[in-house]
Structure 1
Amino acid sequence: MTPVCPFAKAARPDDGSVKKNSGSPCKYAAEHEGKAKNESGDSGKIEAKCPFGYDSQTFKLGPLSCMICQALLFETSKCMPCSHVFCKACISRFRDCPLCGADIEKIEADEELQKVVDKFIDGHARIKRSHANTDDKEAVNENKPVIYEDVSLERGAFLIQQAMRAFRAQNVESAKSRLLLCVADIREQLEGSDNKPELCSQLGAVLGTLGDCCRAAGDAGSAVKYFEESVEFLSRSKAEDMEITHTLSVSLNKIGDLKYYDGDLQAARSYYFRSLDVRRAAMKSDCHSPSLALDVVVSLAKVADADRGLGNEEGANAGFCEAINLLQSLKISANDVAIEQRRQSVLEFLNSQIAEKQRTN
């Protein structure tokens, strides 16, 4: 499964591309960059800087990084006898040290270094201090209070980037740990914001990524839980935002998929149909979008497939035919090669479903 970062422009594995706009938690980074620029002229504050070179724009590797997954160390483990450190899940796949090539005789937990990493994460991007007035000796000597703010902006982008690095390297537990911290930060902000739509959309996207982690780990129950929470918070966001709409429909489809493979076809159809409703509503406001039309076709196919499994062959055939007609009427620019390839792939699947029914008759 291809991991998807909700803070960056990325492709959904089954529903096309996600556009970067105001509905996505990628807005964290954009908002923080704009806020930082505004504050750069504020003589009363100084932007927090990471001494190890980690920041929300570059995400450089630092001394606390695992050289295998390139994310921050998680369950830090030391190779013996060479003493090089990696994440436990990463180094467990090797017999020789990836850095020096020495035989790994055993792997030991490095709890002290892990404590350093945890403290680093806990304080990252939280602290901002007021400038001291150098002309005022009393002000220089005075102990200025530490100001904690912008908990979810740069810190949120930082945590998500670390999580996605770990996820791509199949270090799922590390990814989940970082995502859970991000979720806690956003929930903390939501408590005093009266369900601010931007925060709801960010939380919904991060919860969806947590669902992806659980699904990759084979934990279907937890995956459904996080996807359902994702749907709950995304539903509180701006309905006219196309990215939120897309992310909401994808989360609904993913719940449907998990129910489908668990054998609960009725529940699967219910979620697929909800996704279809969301996508049809979005298509009404942008009827010329080929990617939206393809999303509708995918949902039609999923509903029809569930109908066939439930014995509703008439409904299934009607759904497959509607999807084929929509694909055939779709006008795609010659430059949109990827969308055309996707259309041909989906059309091939739909035709095979119709042909299968004709053979059985």
Structure 2
Amino acid sequence: MTSVCPFTKASRPDDASVKKPSENQNKQQAVNDTKAQQDSAISPKCPFGYDSQTFKLGPLSCMICQALLFECSKCVPCSHIYCKACISRFKDCPLCGADIEKIEDDPNLQSVVDRFIQGHARIKRSQVDTEKEEKESEKKTVIYEDVSLERGAFLMQQAMRALRANNMESAKSRLSVCAEDVKEQLERMGNTPDLCSQLGAVLGMLGDCCRATGDASSAISYFEESVNFLMKVPKDDMEITHTLSVSLNKIGDLKYYEGDLQAARSYYFQALDVRRSAINHQSTVPSQVIDVAISLAKVADVDRNLGNEDTAVAGFQEAIKLLESLTISTEEAALEQRRVSVLEFLNGQLAKK
């Protein structure tokens, strides 16, 4: 399943106009005509052109990972600047081809990038009568508004770019700021389904970053926190159900590699329960049936390693029965290939009996 930005369906709760662009335009036009709503919001726009809707490279982007610069590093002698993790893989400058004699940190530029991220999409300007504004000598107050949608989507875009380029530290940095934004929103709004699902997805991605860098303990902590928030969301959304079960299985995998088989089985079984519950409500969805078979296989594998051979065999057989009874349309060739692959694995496990 491809990664989906958890902010794509979100809308800012204190600004209903963002839901329908046409309504927003009409409202703004009415404000311009009447000049009656002095404190209405003008949507902030990044002067560099960065936003969460389009693929944009700006002056603060790394040309290798195409995300915002992280740990800015300057090539000597050509002075081109990239993320430290990105340029460390090269001997020649990717932009000009010059030999890299050494790489120097550029803390000043990094400070600019950090300040840019801190303020991105946060400023809320008040629309006031121009003549009245000119008469007033008081300094205008800058208000910082909720950013769970605007900056969250922007940071997710940057994090996903960094992840695709294997720049894990950059991705972690952006995701951490994103998580802080949503947590601030949770403190004000409470545990709403949208916010819990957003935070659960972001924390899960942070867990993936830690797992990729070999930090198993931090990965488990993030996955557990992700599960905690996803558990608060109604289980009628296939994407949320999948994300929750995957996070549980990832914790199980890490526990398995650590040799804690009892803990691994507990998490695998929780994932199995989530997936079984999903097919009880949507039993016609082939991908979810395959997910249940995979969870059965994980639990059975642990049972075998714990010496419970009969229980393990029963689990493998149940999974095989599910897959053999599953009918997949010819249009879903990739899903059928996945079904066959899992079925071959399960039959191979039974042959080891």
TM over 0.5, yes or no? Answer: yes
| Separation of aligned partners in 2, 1:140 and 1:291 | 62
* Number of aligned positions between the proteins: 337
1:237 is matched with which residue: 217, 233, 239?
Answer: 233
Answer yes or no: is 1:27 the counterpart of 2:21: no
Relative to structure 2, which stretch is displaced further, 193-202 or 108-117?
Answer: 193-202
Shift of residue 58, structure 1, vs aligned partner: 0.5
SS in structure 2 opposite 1:78?
A: strand
Answer yes or no: is 1:206 the counterpart of 2:205: no
Alignment of 1:216-235 (within 5 A): 216-235=212-231
Question: Any stretches of 5+ residues in structure 1 without a counterpart?
Answer: 8-23
Question: Any stretches of 5+ residues in structure 2 without a counterpart?
Answer: 32-39
1:124 is matched with which residue: 120, 131, 136?
Answer: 120
Shift of residue 141, structure 1, vs aligned partner: 4.8
**Closer/same/farther in 2, CA of residues 299 and 181 from structure 1, 3 Å limit:** same
Code of the residue aligned with 1:122 in structure 2: it is Q
| Separation of aligned partners in 2, 1:213 and 1:187 | 20
Does the 8 A contact of 1:6 with 1:209 survive in 2?
Answer: no
Does the 8 A contact of 2:272 with 2:295 survive in 1?
Answer: yes
SS in structure 1 opposite 2:41?
A: coil
Shift of residue 131, structure 1, vs aligned partner: 1.8
| Separation of aligned partners in 2, 1:336 and 1:5 | 19
2:291 is matched with which residue: 267, 281, 295?
Answer: 295
> Match for residue 138 of structure 1?
132
User: TM-score if structure 1 supplies the norm length?
Assistant: 0.89
Shift of residue 6, structure 1, vs aligned partner: 4.2
2:52 is matched with which residue: 29, 45, 56?
Answer: 56
Does the 8 A contact of 2:50 with 2:57 survive in 1?
Answer: yes
Does the 8 A contact of 2:72 with 2:109 survive in 1?
Answer: yes
Code of the residue aligned with 1:138 in structure 2: it is K
SS in structure 2 opposite 1:222?
A: helix
Does the 8 A contact of 1:53 with 1:59 survive in 2?
Answer: no
> Match for residue 252 of structure 1?
248
Answer yes or no: is 1:347 the counterpart of 2:340: no
SS in structure 2 opposite 1:192?
A: helix
Shift of residue 331, structure 1, vs aligned partner: 1.2
> Match for residue 71 of structure 1?
67
Code of the residue aligned with 1:214 in structure 2: it is C
SS in structure 1 opposite 2:42?
A: coil
Answer yes or no: is 1:166 the counterpart of 2:162: yes
| Separation of aligned partners in 2, 1:309 and 1:229 | 28
Answer yes or no: is 1:269 the counterpart of 2:251: no
| Separation of aligned partners in 1, 2:296 and 2:91 | 48
Shift of residue 34, structure 1, vs aligned partner: 3.6
Does the 8 A contact of 1:5 with 1:161 survive in 2?
Answer: no
Larger RCO, structure (CA 8 Å, separation 6 or more):
1
SS in structure 1 opposite 2:349?
A: helix
Code of the residue aligned with 1:251 in structure 2: it is S
Code of the residue aligned with 2:193 in structure 1: it is P
| Separation of aligned partners in 2, 1:337 and 1:200 | 34
Shift of residue 100, structure 1, vs aligned partner: 0.4
Code of the residue aligned with 1:62 in structure 2: it is G
User: TM-score if structure 2 supplies the norm length?
Assistant: 0.91
Code of the residue aligned with 2:288 in structure 1: it is L
